[in-house]
Amino acid sequence: MSALTIMSAKTTTGAGSSFPLNNMYTKENKTFQIAVAGSGAVTATVAIEVSNDNVTYVSDAYSTVSLSGTTSAAQGLVMEANWQYVRANVTAISGTSAAVTVILGTM
């Protein structure tokens, strides 16, 4: 299994950089580890968005996670479809020093 951080400690809403799902990531299931950390109560909503043209990105209810915890929270998901590009999009975030990190891996 290999891993790639596609979002690192993002503290504001908005989409992160896109990453091509080259040969290392296209032939296998992809796993996403999505975490928020901060001080006190933290929450975040993060969508994993995919595209075939690196212009129009899509997500659905299955690729959007809501995180909530005291100092940290994490969740994972698995993607089986073979898209060409992926990015993480923080659609909501709150809490003192709350920051989102997303790591992509292959199984």
Give the integer Cα–Cα distance in Å for 16 and 90.
Answer: 8
Q: Given this model, what pLDDT does residue 5 score?
A: 95
**pTM for this model (two decimals):** 0.93
pLDDT 10s per residue in the chain (107 long)? Answer: 678 999 999 999 999 999 998 766 666 788 999 999 999 999 999 999 999 999 999 998 889 999 999 999 999 999 888 889 999 999 999 999 999 999 998 76
Evaluate the CA torsion angle 91, 96, 4, 34 in order and state its sign.
negative
Q: Given this model, what pLDDT does residue 14 score?
A: 98
